[in-house]
Structure 1
Amino acid sequence: MIRSRLAPAKVNLYLHVAAPDARRYHPLQSLVMFADIGDEVTLTGQGGLTIDGPFGDGLSTGEDNLIVKAVRRFEAATSVTVDTGLHLTKNLPVASGLGGGSADAGAALHLLRCAFAPDMPDRDLEAIAATIGADGVMCLWNRSAFAEGYGEILRPVVMPQLPGVLINPMVECSTAAVYNGFDHLARFDEIEAKALFDGAEDVVATLRHTRNDLEPAAIRLQPVIADILTSLDAQPQTLLARMSGSGATCFALCATSEAAEILSRRMQALWPTAWVRACTLR
């Protein structure tokens, strides 16, 4: 039985966001990939949720934690009482635009199915994940995809592996605050971009025709994000630099894993208090 699972960081290679609709929700389109680094979720012998790791301090282990929410939704859907515990090793910064909480919940659901309901169809597990949040399903499967609707409509896409670097300046970006700032700026543009990637051989060149619409609002909230992006753009290893999600994590794409390692070391030297990791997006 699988007892541990990676909850990988989600990276939005682009994020186009429309004006809020009648429900006050924002239709969007994004191309998401997942890194080979992230949090780790483990089944344990004790009941309840425990947390450690470099970013575990102060995190709730109560009903507001998405892992606990996933357990409750799993129990309700299966009529099973989960009598084991779950442990989260929190390796990703909190409120960082990397989908950490949803990825943690997705990893927990995989472990729970394996332990308590091995015959549960994927569609049923997906239905539970969908109740966790708009990105619950994408963070359950951890597969490259175009996300549309409010993030819940997914079209899988085959992408090459992309070496890169993630950097977070150790400031939190509230998703709600960033969206509020986005609405205040009222800079709404067309969100459709999938057609750009049909037959595209150079992903980076194609991505230059896209954007992250939340960047300006996030920068107003945390100006250091602009400094990080400027710093990344100045490095010869960087092919493309952009913010992920609602921030504050930024990423750079590189030509090779070796270039990503060099860039990672360079950025750690330039930003000694930041969280910096080389990775591969898949």
Structure 2
Amino acid sequence: MPTPPPTGPLVTRATLAADLRALGVRPGEIVLAHSSLRSLGWVNGGPVAVVEGLLDALGPDGTLVVPTQSGGLSDPALWTSPPVPETWWETIRATMPGYDPLVTPTRGVGVVPETVRTWPGALRSAHPQTSFAAIGPRAAKIVEDHAPDCRLGELSPLARLEAMDARVLLLGAGYDSCTGFHLAEYRIPSPRVEVGRPVRTPEGSRWEVVTEVSISSERFDELGADFERDRPVVRGPVGAADTRLFPLADAVAYAERWLETHRSREEWVTDDAPASRRS
């Protein structure tokens, strides 16, 4: 049987930029983008066209930020999809290459962030598991000094983005991918966990364990639905994607109140295993 032709809109760099402007993306602003390429329709140029369209909408004075997480740099004891034999764990920990912001690929966040990570002039933060990459005149200020024991808290790019009045763009992505909600977890009583990962030193890679705030995206979809009901969220199409745009500071403040009310310690399900390896 012949392959059927694609359906849905033909999306180009120019139509993406026009749709983003119609949604309300402003030249010169800072946008933290979470994206689903598949949701956009048939994109001529794939993720490269998406990044170009985003940069066109933001203009030369705007800054694009994306999560460039590398959850594969994690403790093999937590891997479940698939698991590895326990007899391998110590060897994996001892030989796993340490994080290098110029080399380590993203994992579990989609092809658009990986394209941003490798974009000419892109800068990436130093956290070995939950980095962010940015393109634009304020990129350095956003990604600098990401503390190694603060994945998504006060010493991460999220807090700087909040202070700089950034907005969140969910480009076909759901609220379950909204990293800004995690910043709220650092501002409420939250469990703490030990997190292992490889780090790069002048002598080579070594394994380290740090104590961190436990993070979880459990119920973020429910949180996002309530946030959208109660707070101003711009919603409209970009290509074929249902897209949302809102201030990061609003989302963090709302999430802080919501999580304190709705989440108990008993139902906390951590995201400390990488997304691509969790069952």
TM normalised by structure 1 equals: 0.30
TM normalised by structure 2 equals: 0.30
